[in-house]
Structure 1
Amino acid sequence: MLNRSTSVLLLCVLLSGCAGSSLKRQKPALVPNLPTTAVQAHEVTPELKAEYENAIAMLREGETDPAQDALNNLLKKDDQIAGAHLNLALILYRNGEYDQAKRSVERTLQLSPRNAAAYNLQGTLMRRGGNFDGAALAYANAMAADPNYAPAYLNMAILFDIYLQFWDDARQFYQRYQQLSTNPDPRVEHWLQDLNHRINEQRG
């Protein structure tokens, strides 16, 4: 079964578009709305599974264009492989093809409605489009789908820190990201120190 896939390209998505600012606004409501009904697992033939694994191997080697071609060819044969849609979405995102990436993410979630990685990318696409409430909900969905999925906490922290400026909330999400990471990220630790400094200055 390939209905869930942790993308090998997620690190290309995490910290993109981390510049920007926003006037102070109402805090988004972080109420996940995951589907309650399960989707039947999709069985993939051994031949198609081998094609999928070959495409992922290409991604790991940085062969993005051949991997994209392989995923597209695979999906022509079987459009119900959620992991293929997700990895294709990540390639499209990296290439700046945001509308196509959005469609691939939506298809991923149709097939795998509790896919944390797909919600994470959906949030990043929404954040890029200025839909901050939608981005917050998507990241909340990612956390609800997998409470230990660290990238969603980092992206939520970035959203609350830079875009929405709810700094206390951002600090909590940064801290949770560091707790979930096998090796805490020194860049995030630096951001936390800077954030703590801003919070202390704001409070006088």
Structure 2
Amino acid sequence: MRYVNLYLLLIAVLMMTACASQGGGGSVATTSRTSSALPRVSVQEQYQQALQLMKSGRNSEAEVILTKLVKRHPRYTGPLTNLGIMAAKNRQFESAKRYFSKAIAAKRDNIIALTWIAQVCEELGELQAAEMWLKQAIARKPDHATAYLNLAILYDTGLSQPADALEYYRQYLELNGDSELPVAAWARDLQEKLESRRVATADAR
């Protein structure tokens, strides 16, 4: 894809958000009604330990802890989301999609899972599904700028819908500010191409 480097950078930022914040990925303490044999604080401690392991690159150890948490607390979205992130980074896209789907089923406004599953679907060539997940992310969190940018890129380079791409580039810039020079340049370039196309069409009539 034309903007693959920036897109991967955005995904990396999302991973750090998932690791650093329980709110975006679903809080272990608040997203399940299932009972636990362990004290609630112990569950939190295990989850935080897994996140620290992820940050330090010890993903196999983190995976063991997160998998155990998922088995004990299948409605907790944080462990599911981070298992999905690790699977996606290992290019195990079908596994990642299953984890993200479960996380979203447990918490419909899990913005991190929604954004990641869109990327996974794009990697699998499921572009219409990627579009759907990004639109759902925007519907759940209308100020989530990254979803607007990812959707604009999808329309621009994947679905070949330049007018829609321009609309979402503009919405991203409104949310994130015109200081985003590369994105502003892409939007101007796309607008110029659309204007040239309209002029050419008018001249041909």
Fold-level match, TM-score > 0.5?
A: yes
Are the equivalent residues in 2 in contact too, given 1:13–1:94 (CA < 8 A)? no
Query: 1:55 is matched with which residue: 47, 50, 54?
Result: 50
- Which runs of at least 4 in structure 1 moved beyond 6 Å after TM superposition? none
Indicate the residue corresponding to 1:34 in structure 2: none
Equivalent position of 2:32 in the other structure: 42
**Cα distance change of structure 1 residues 202 and 182 upon mapping to structure 2, 3 Å threshold:** closer
Match of 2:130 among 126, 131, 135: 135
Counterpart-to-counterpart distance in 2, 1:10 and 1:90:
13
- Taking structure 1 as reference, are residues 56 and 183 closer, same or farther at Cα in structure 2, changes over 3 Å only? farther
Amino acid at match of 1:121: W
Contact 1:120 1:142 (C-alpha < 8 Å) held by counterparts = yes
Q: Hey, what's the Cα distance between the residues in 1 that align with 2:178 and 2:196? A: 30
Decide which moves more: 154-163 or 52-61: 52-61
Structure 1, gaps ≥5 residues long? 1-8, 15-39
**1:64 Cα shift?**
3.6
2:72 pairs with 1:82: no
Is residue 2:105 matched to residue 1:105? no
What is the CA-CA distance between 1:98 and the residue it aligns to? Answer: 0.4
Size of the aligned set, in residue pairs, is: 171
In the alignment, structure 1 residue 12 sits paired with structure 2 residue 2: no
Q: What is the CA distance between 1:81 and its match in structure 2?
A: 1.4
Q: For residues 102 and 119 of structure 1, what CA distance do their matches in structure 2 show?
A: 10
Out of 142, 158, 162, the residue aligned to residue 167 of structure 1 is 162
Q: Which residue of 2 aligns with 1:179?
A: 174
Q: Give per-residue Cα distances to partners, 1:121-178, cap 9 Å, x unaligned.
A: 2222222222222221111111111111122111110111111222121112112222
Indicate which of 146, 163, 176 corresponds to 2:141. Answer: 146
Q: Which structure has more RCO (C-alpha within 8 Å, separation ≥ 6)?
A: 1
Provide the alpha-carbon RMSD of the alignment: 2.7
**TM-score normalised by the chain length of structure 1:** 0.72
In 1, distance between residues paired with 2:187 and 2:162? Answer: 10
User: Structure 1 residues 96, 186: CA separation in 2 closer, same or farther (over 3 Å shift)?
Assistant: same
For structure 2, the residue ranges without an aligned partner over 5 or more in a row are 1-8, 15-29, 200-205
TM-score, normalised via structure 2 length: 0.71
Residue 70 of structure 1 corresponds to 65
Residue 116, structure 1, aligned to residue 129, structure 2: no
**Partner of residue 151 from structure 2, selected from 149, 152, 156:** 156
Identical amino acids, percent of aligned pairs:
26
C-alpha distance after superposition, 1:40-80 (max 9, x if no partner)? 94268111111112222333344444333332233233222
Cα gap change, 1:75 to 1:184, in 2 (>3 Å): farther
